[in-house]
Amino acid sequence: MKNIMTAPFMVEMIRTATNMYAHGWDERNGGNISMLLDEAELKEYLAIPAIVRTIPTGFTAPELDGKYFLVTGTGKYFKNVQYDPAKNLGIVRLAENGTEAEVLWGFSDGGKFTSEFPAHMKSHIARMKTDPENRVVMHCHPSNLLAMTYVHELDEKAFTRTLWQMCTECIIVFPDGVNVLPWMLCGTNEIGEATAEKMKTARLVVWAQHGIYGAGRDLDETFGLIETAEKAAEIYMKIAHLPRVNTITDEQMHLLEERFGVKAREGYLD
């Protein structure tokens, strides 16, 4: 059996969590990540089944029965992941129609998965129906995107177009745009279901006055989506109070579509 700390998925998860904390996106115990694991690869590092304990999930997700996830723990600080992965991360398998999570590794102090687990799992289901290769759901609190929800209308088309206009690469990186939820109580099935519904049409979902959810095929793609949107929001917050002399026009964005082989979300460009 190989050392699980050398597994590519573990190395990337640790590196990503550390980088997210360094970016200032995950203060204290804020933020969470979940990654769908390949069973064949996982068997190289863990004896399966080897259930340490079982935790009720508080929701149903029959579509995910038998699926394995590497997930951050509730109340855990991203800054500590690199120093004690087994305490701050866990590998779980969903069972009993998704109502139970079987802990196979990690959460060594008796902890459990993030309180946002319902939102993560429901988002995984939604994204995999749209893109079967989707593997990652990531939640964090980037300062400028959060600030933008206080001063910008929350209409999804308007919010997306503003971000697209801030950086040339935005429409290339997230042509599907950004969906937005008004403030909702976090850690509930309700916000999980609302986020999953938004995930059907976009890989980025902003939680107003809270943060953002991103989804992608791997950790790099998902991190890059959020990073690009946050950079655009930073530029917007620097210029929002100033008269707009120049911008990226819809005509120019159509040129970017053609040049880079992307298609902007239907109806979002003139």
- pTM of the model as a whole: 0.94
pLDDT at position 50, please? Answer: 86
Among 3.40.225.10, 1.10.10.2840, 3.40.50.450, 3.40.190.10, what is the CATH number of 1-115?
Answer: 3.40.225.10
Residue 116 annotated among the catalytic residues of the structure: yes
54 band by pLDDT with thresholds 50, 70 and 90:
very high
Is it the case that residue 260 has pLDDT exceeding 90?
A: yes
The arithmetic mean of pLDDT across residues 126-136, rounded, is: 96
Which residue among the candidates 12, 27, 41, 116 is catalytic per the annotation? 116
The arithmetic mean of pLDDT across residues 48-76, rounded, is: 93
Encode pLDDT of 11-34 as tens digits: 999 999 999 999 999 999 999 999
Is it the case that residue 1 has pLDDT exceeding 90?
A: no
Give the chain's mean pLDDT: 95
For residues 193 and 123, give the distance between their C-alpha atoms in angstroms, rounded to a whole number: 8
Identical topology for domains 1-115 and 116-270: yes
CATH code that applies to domain 116-270: 3.40.225.10
* Domain residue spans of the chain: 1-115, 116-270
